[in-house]
Structure 1
Amino acid sequence: MKRGLSLKWLVVIAFLVQGLILVVGYSFLTAHYLIQGMDNIVTSNMEQVAHHYLKQAANDSSKSPKQYYDYVVTSQWSALPKEVKSLFKQSEIIPNKLFKAHLPEESPPKVKFLFHAIIQNQKVYVAYSISRSTASALTLQNISSDFRTLIMISMLSALSLAVIILLLSWRLGRPITRLGEWARTLASDKLHQPTPNFNYPELNAFAELIRSNLKSVQETTEREQRFLRHTSHELRTPITTIRSNVELLKKLDAQQNQHHSQAAIDRIDRASLTMKHLTETLLWLHHDRAESLPMTECQLNVVIQHLVDDMRYLLASKHISLNVKTQPYTLYLPEAAARIVLGNLIRNAFQHTWEGSVSIIQQQNTVQIINQQLPSSEKEDLGFGLGLQLTERLCQRLDWYYRNEQQANGHFVTLVFPDPKQA
């Protein structure tokens, strides 16, 4: 049996992946807003430094850059330190927006900030640099603590999500597993018992549906079996009666030399045998038995002639041209099944042709049956409807070649029996 990923683990993995994506995504988002908050603080400080610079510039006509702690302030781009001008391009600097550049190759690593403020129509450039050596211990401690807290919250969130999903799958998986085990062991003696409780209304409804459907199937099977038993039992009685009376008629005819009744007796004989073989074949086909049907030597041309003679009454009051061509040929096959298949095909050809022609051609082990309806005929039923399903099932079970081709005004049927002589 082909095994794949179970539905339970598929749901668990899907929820875990989705949960981890959300946790990681929100963790990065939180880290982003944490860094953005720090940048906003730096921007606010640099803006305050710019205001302080303009207040002093009002009393000082010097245009030289000023330095307040780690902040370098000037009103001219050219007055900025060379290191700042090498990291940023003047054409790309937008007023009132913070720009920063990371310098991981330096020791210790630094971050350079540049802020271009326009205050009361006056341009001010503020440059700022920070590293581990220049940042206060309290600031570094707070940043490190914030990131540790963020990582810890993310890990706890992912762990709690995994635990909740696993507990939920275990909680849901137990009744589903019980339902599967109960369904596998559901025998005929348990179908009339109430269904167990599987904790959830949906599972209980599904279990009841399984039980009711199996119960319905069992009842249908029992009805069919009773029908078959009754049918086979009821048919055996008239078959026995017909057979015994045929033997009696044969004895009386032999004593009185009444040969005119021989044809009728032969037809009764064939009909009784057909009933007997039909019952056995249908029971064999219905029960799908492993054993084979009894094999006998069968003169195929004689069987076809007998079937045509027995069904000529179907051609009464019809304008049909009948053409039967056979040649002597003997086969070793289950004659009862052959009579059923050929009888169905010939009967349908006769029944479904109202005005036209019927041709039955037998060459060795191949039989062709062709019915053609005249276009002027008022009847339009040209099919081989009756017995078609039985014919197809028998041919499939016995490995006989059977083909039914629909033509413009009729059907063309080909039936080929297996012949060891041609193998």
Structure 2
Amino acid sequence: MKIRLSIRYYFLGAVLLLASCMVIAFSVLTANYFNEGRDSILHRTMVQMAEIEGVTDGHPVNVIDFQIASRWQDLTEDIQLVFEEQGHKAIKLNKIIVSDSIFSRPKAGYFVVDISNSKGEKRYVAKVLEPDNDAPIEKRGMPHFIWIFAFAISGIAIFLLMLLLIMRTVAKPIEALRHWASSLNEKSLQQTPPDFQYKELNSLAEIVHNSLNTVQDSLHREHEFLRFASHELRTPIAVIRTNVELLRKINESEKASIKQNRVVERIERAGFTMSHLTETLLWLSRGDSIPPAIQKIQLNELVLRLIEELSYLLQGKTVDVTVQTSECQIELPETACRIVLTNLIRNAFQHTQNGIVSISQQGQSVIINSKEIDNDDEMKSDSNELGFGLGLKLTEKLVQQFNWQCQCQAQQTGHIVEVNFITENN
């Protein structure tokens, strides 16, 4: 499962990480400056101590705990043990700090400088720092590094609290924007967007509001066009079907040719198809404004009646139709059920030119199996003119709207469609 990032937590983590890195960096820099300042002051003091008079071989001088000697062996043993004569560097301050860890107070510090004074005399200046148990230094509390670490943690904690407060202030209007956008509907779109405190959020709300209004207007125009077009098409379709019947009677009296009769049959099939599609589109254009009427219907009788009404599609074809039904009374929206079955049966009859159409109804389930044995190019072109698959598209919309189950399996020689009219009582 893919983990989706949250902008709030991503921003909080990124800023907190950046702040922590800055606090740690400045803490390390502070500790380094502390050490550098101590060493710099001590080094300058030791350089000045090298100018003291009276230092000779074998007679070192001790001034305020600084050892000044002209020879290395004149220094105290502890200095000589810690620093080897070849281990220290001239002029540079050499130091060794004895400590258990970086966060604990040092146990001892050893410092030595190998330098020549202004008279060119060789001098060794050393300093030993060892905490005295009786000295007041022991009562100072925690070491400086502990204080630096504590201040760093405190700084991060204070920064985190401030960041959470800022995030809460910023996130509250963002959450309000999200809740407002998710609750938008046709009624709320007529109202102006609320104030979200920040100019950027108000601009985003205005963009969302205008975009949804544009989509809503477009859908409304399409809905009106579909409804008006479906109503207006009823009249020309009725005229076409009436004139086709009249033309058929004229052809029967005048003994028209086979080609003329085929043209009339093609027009008649197109008229019936347009009539069914217009009825379907008109019903779909109503949407949820008009709830479907639930009626008790005999599903087996409806299937037989529709097969008889659509049998005109099989005229001039070599199609064997097998029907198997069982008595079933069910409560359904009759118009929707009739449209679905009409589209499925019409597609099976319309797109099978030479083959077998098997229709089976058991309980609330209807299975339509169309199998083509031999395709005729001329009849195939006629079926394509009538719009292959459009009935199935409209059927899918109706099935989804009423939560029915419909499965369509395409085969090399035909289709198998099963629709199950599930009701709340079942």
Return the TM-score normalized by structure 2: 0.64
Other structure's SS at 1:127 match: strand
**Partner residue of 1:201?**
199
1:110 corresponds to 2:120: no
CA RMSD of the aligned region, Å?
Answer: 4.9
What amino acid maps onto 2:218 in structure 1? T
Matched-pair contact (CA < 8 Å) for 1:111–1:130: yes
What amino acid maps onto 1:68 in structure 2? V
Matched-pair contact (CA < 8 Å) for 1:365–1:419: no
What amino acid maps onto 1:7 in structure 2? I
Of 163-172 and 127-136, deviating more is: 127-136
- Deviation of residue 211 (structure 1)? 0.5
Counterpart-to-counterpart distance in 2, 1:282 and 1:119: 108
1:13 corresponds to 2:13: yes
Where in structure 1 are there 5+ consecutive unaligned residues?
A: 307-325, 344-362, 371-383, 403-413
Matched-pair contact (CA < 8 Å) for 1:71–1:127: yes
1:34 corresponds to 2:34: yes
Matched-pair contact (CA < 8 Å) for 1:366–1:416: no
Q: Percent identity?
A: 28
**Partner residue of 2:361?**
none
Counterpart-to-counterpart distance in 2, 1:244 and 1:396: 31
- Deviation of residue 200 (structure 1)? 0.9
Counterpart-to-counterpart distance in 2, 1:16 and 1:188: 42
Q: How does 1:24-423 map to 2 (within 5 A)?
A: 24-52=24-52, 55-57=53-55, 60=56, 62-104=57-99, 109-120=107-118, 121-133=120-132, 137=136, 150=148, 153-154=151-152, 157-249=155-247, 256=253, 258=255, 260=257, 262-279=261-278, 334-337=344-347, 364-365=371-372, 399-401=408-410, 416-418=414-416
Other structure's SS at 1:102 match: strand
**Partner residue of 1:357?**
none
Q: For the structure 1 residues 123 and 369, does the alpha-carbon distance in structure 2 shift closer, same or farther, using more than 3 Å as the test?
A: farther
Counterpart-to-counterpart distance in 1, 2:143 and 2:62: 31
Matched-pair contact (CA < 8 Å) for 2:409–2:417: no
Counterpart-to-counterpart distance in 2, 1:334 and 1:47: 106
Where in structure 2 are there 5+ consecutive unaligned residues?
A: 293-302, 324-342, 354-369, 378-383, 398-406, 419-426
Counterpart-to-counterpart distance in 1, 2:280 and 2:391: 12
Deviations 1:17-76 (A, max 9, x none): 322332232123212212221222222222222221xx324xx5x344433342223233
Q: For the structure 1 residues 64 and 224, does the alpha-carbon distance in structure 2 shift closer, same or farther, using more than 3 Å as the test?
A: same
Deviations 1:173-227 (A, max 9, x none): 1211111121122121222322111111100010001101111111111111112
Question: How many residue pairs were aligned?
Answer: 348
Q: For the structure 1 residues 75 and 400, does the alpha-carbon distance in structure 2 shift closer, same or farther, using more than 3 Å as the test?
A: same
Deviations 1:333-361 (A, max 9, x none): 82444688899xxxxxxxxxxxxxxxxxx
What amino acid maps onto 2:408 in structure 1? D
Deviations 1:287-346 (A, max 9, x none): 9999xxx89769xxx97997xxxxxxxxxxxxxxxxxxx985658882444688899xxx
**Partner residue of 1:320?**
none
